[in-house]
Chains A and B, each alone.
Chain A
Amino acid sequence: MKAFAEWLSRSGPSVFIQSHEVWMIPALQSLHIVGIGLAVGSALMMTLRLLGWLDMDETLLQNQRRFGPWLGGALCLLLVSGSLLVIGEPVRELVTFSFWLKMAFVAALTGMAVAFHVSVKHDEGEWERDLMKRRSVRWTAWVTFVMWACIIILGRLIAYDHIWGHLSPATKA
């Protein structure tokens, strides 16, 4: 991975970002945080609705139609700004334990969001009548909060990867 990161850091787009990094890296990181805000805001609304904590005057599907596209758009923004950050600083990002653990959480959470979205669309009645009240579903909703928290913490920890000790590949370099 280190070899790949070093190869990537010599590629054209990476060199371009590096040569403008004084403003581009802070700008991309800010854009990434804006994306996190949009994603967390819309995901929070949908999860709280699922838990029955707010917006109970609209159905799950109505709530999902209201926030789903914003979550999808935010995830695209995160993917683009995140990829550019990786291209701009490949070694800083890719040669860390935090980054890869974060990606694992992102993959899992995205899968869960898509599954939830498809399921509500197909079985709206069942969700409203039954599924929403199931303990396992409510627990899953709580788990997603924890996963969001982990993703945000791990994202910030990329800059502090040494705290993982021997788990961090950076300490072996």
Chain B
Amino acid sequence: MDITRWLKALEDTRLADGIRHSLYAFPLLESLHVMALSVVFGTIIIVDLRLLGLASTRRPVTRVTAELLRWTWSAFAAAAVTGALMFLTNARVYANNTSFRVKMLLLALAGLNMIIFHRTALRTIARWDRDSATPGASKSAAALSMVLWVGIIVAGRVIGFTTTGAEAKAAPPSIENFDDFLSGAADGAAPTQTGATARAAHDDAANLTIKVLMDTLVDPSGDFLFESVEDIADERGITHKAPQTAEDWAAVRHHLQVLMDAPALLDVPGRRAAEPTDRSRNPASESQPEEIQRLLDGQHADFVLRAERLRQAAAVGMDAANARDLKALFAAISLIDKACESCHLHYWYPNDERAHQAAKEEGGILE
């Protein structure tokens, strides 16, 4: 489907780029969104509580709602605009996020609930406008509305914990959604895959190459981890970059989980290294798909061992992340780096002398 391309186009708009690159825009949009939704929620609850006979019971229903709903709708418009602007900045990630989808579904249900209420119970309002106890249909519509709106708030907040924030341009599909990913149900799942690899991913699991899994799962998570804990030296001196908020830590754990789960996918017997068309651009140092395949076929147990090394390093990192131990996390990420590099040196670029030399100097795993 072309929806991924549409979403990508949204991300590439000047507006989205401007928001992404501003220090203040995204936090401010979030704040305005909370303000707008608190007015939407707060005013809807007043109506719901009146219909349930729990508040404002001395006033007729129509009088409670008459002057209120214009505030609800104005605030809803503000929430929709701020929400859309936030969506733009990372459209593919949000569109593929389960919490985001649940939130949209709940919003649709809340709208449907409102329409049904207007077409049914509200038609007879003249009969019960002044009653403190409204008909059962009204009460259930009100109760359902309250549940749906609380659900919308919860789902909305969880989006922040399950996407990695404004910077997450191309989050990998999470392992939980891997079945969707394989069956092609989640078209936006892997923004990094294109053309032939995308088609391969849709065919069936056995057709997924190690290269595809690397490009879509392992590399994005590895890059995220390598970038999330580091020392940055610039004109202001050395600053330590580290996860700070609960969201940051949740993102670190998510990517560690991907690296813990990926080895079991990588070393499935019969998994091919790459498509024959995935030619290397640096054949002097990198092996071609068929050369890598020969090595893999000849020593599957070795590959399993190396994949297990990655899983163990990621598991050490997960323990560190659970304890929020930065030092241990830093050490684990270095282990992950070494596990990656040792396997790449053996299978991917065994003839790259410079890479071997660098690995030796950095104390990498060589054999």
Q: Which A residues are within 8 Å of any B CB, using their own CB?
A: 21-22, 25-27, 29-30, 33-34, 36-42, 44-45, 48, 53-55, 57-58, 66, 70, 89, 92, 148-149, 152-153, 155-157, 159-160, 163, 170
Contact = CB atoms under 8 A, between A and B. Distances in A.
B246 interface: yes
A40 B55 contact: no
Contact of B42 (A25, A37, A53, A163): A37
B29 to A, nearest CB: 10
B246 A92 contact: yes
B46 A160 contact: no
B175 interface: no
Contacts of A152: 31, 34-35, 38
A61 to B, nearest CB: 13
Contacts of B35: 40, 148-149, 152-153
- State the main secondary structure of chain A at its contact with B: helix
B55 to A, nearest CB: 7
Given A25-B246, A55-B67, A163-B24, A40 B157 contact: no
Interface in B142-166: 150, 153-154, 157-158, 161
B60 to A, nearest CB: 10
B56 A66 contact: yes
Given A30-B154, A152-B35, 16 more contacts: A26-B154, A26-B157, A30-B157, A33-B34, A36-B38, A37-B38, A37-B45, A37-B153, A41-B38, A41-B42, A41-B43, A45-B68, A48-B71, A54-B68, A155-B31, A157-B31
A58 B246 contact: no
B300 interface: no
Interface of B: 23-24, 27-28, 30-31, 34-35, 37-43, 45-46, 55-56, 59, 63, 67-68, 71, 150, 153-154, 157-158, 161, 244-247, 250
- State the main secondary structure of chain B at its contact with A: helix
Contacts of A160: 27
A66 B244 CA distance: 42
Given A25-B246, A27-B154, A153-B31, A42 B38 contact: no
A34 B150 contact: yes
Contacts of A148: 35
B39 A163 contact: no
Contacts of B247: 159
Contact of A156 (B27, B39, B42, B46): B27
Contact of A34 (B30, B41, B46, B250): B41
Contacts of B46: 41-42, 45
Given A66-B56, A156-B34, A21 B246 contact: yes
